[in-house]
A and B are shown apart, each in its own frame.
Chain A
């Protein structure tokens, strides 16, 4: 995580900065979706860093088919609740197939409907830091 130009699936370049520059103690962690997630899910270094960031985030926001960091290890699942901000009136979150690569690795991975990539079905799920957890957690839909 050294910063530099990152390019989206649509070839939009964005200049980024390295995590080592991060000084914030009060921040919102925002994780977009994208096809690049397929590689990241097997990147242990990235996953460890993501978990660390999630542990200290005030809120975690994920969009579309992204990674949802499970800040609570040991197999516990966490409730997703609080605010859901949708750009589409038909907000329809569904849990990712548990047999999928992402679903096997992560708890509480949700996708927003089936129109994630057409620009109409984008949604944001906001989970506050420190939400209560249970071993039988259910989504907060």
Chain B
């Protein structure tokens, strides 16, 4: 199991996160975790 460390910051692009994460789930066995600036 891999963690996906996502760097979120104010004014990130919503679609840049939630669209790709959904796709990545098909490619990688992942556990998504959000971290920030």
Q: How many residues of B contact A (CB 8 A)?
A: 29
- Residues 1-15 of chain B: 1 if any A CB is under 8 Å from the residue's CB, otherwise 0? 011111111111111
CB distance from A36 to the nearest CB of B (A): 4
Q: Let me know if B16 and A63 touch, CB within 8 A.
A: yes
A sample of 26 inter-chain contacts (CB < 8 A) reads A1-B37, A6-B12, A9-B14, A15-B34, A16-B35, A18-B35, A18-B36, A22-B5, A24-B3, A28-B3, A28-B4, A30-B7, A30-B21, A31-B7, A34-B12, A35-B13, A36-B11, A36-B37, A50-B7, A53-B5, A57-B5, A83-B27, A85-B27, A87-B19, A87-B23, A122-B19
